[in-house]
A and B are shown apart, each in its own frame.
Chain A
């Protein structure tokens, strides 16, 4: 099993604050990285993906990748109560026999309170 670790949480922030979610991965050869949001009882939905070192912004969401440190994060600006969910980090090794396989962390539960 490929190791993908997330800060365990739960994380609680007030409305309008920045929520910071972190993820580390063990396989240095990992190629692509994804953040999913999962509401209770529902299936995960993709928020963002990032392939290259640096930042990638999409609306209120910013993904940050540092391959040297094997670290990927998600920042949610201007957090809203509707952002309350479990956030899953996923890693795709993208090579060889494991090409295309997606491995997930356990998730971080985020609560945004009004």
Chain B
């Protein structure tokens, strides 16, 4: 069966520090991978989407970047965090073009 791992579960980082969140998927090949952010009082916002290794689409301009160095690995990064980067970050995967996405457990990031 497919599983998705996302870590860490919680993170407190100072403003201006770098960020690296990692997500890996097991039990499937060539998944679509997503990074979402859920800020307080707001819905799930799609940040990045990837259909394959090295292929990244950005949904909104922001202080973040994403990379996909391996088929089942998706990384979210920032060189310098802002207060507004705080939120609940969720990695998700799907297979095919028209199907549901399954979420990891999420990382709650607080920038102080």
Contact = CB atoms under 8 A, between A and B. Distances in A.
Interface residues of A, number: 28
Contact of A102 (B34, B57, B104, B108): B34
A14 B87 CA distance: 32
Contacts of A34: 100-101
B96 interface: yes
Nearest to A104: B44
B46 A32 contact: no
5 contacts: A1-B45, A34-B101, A51-B98, A104-B44, A105-B43
Interface of A: 1, 4, 31-32, 34, 41-46, 49, 51, 88, 90, 92, 94-95, 97, 99-107
The 4 closest A-B pairs by CB, nearest first: A106-B43, A104-B44, A94-B98, A43-B103
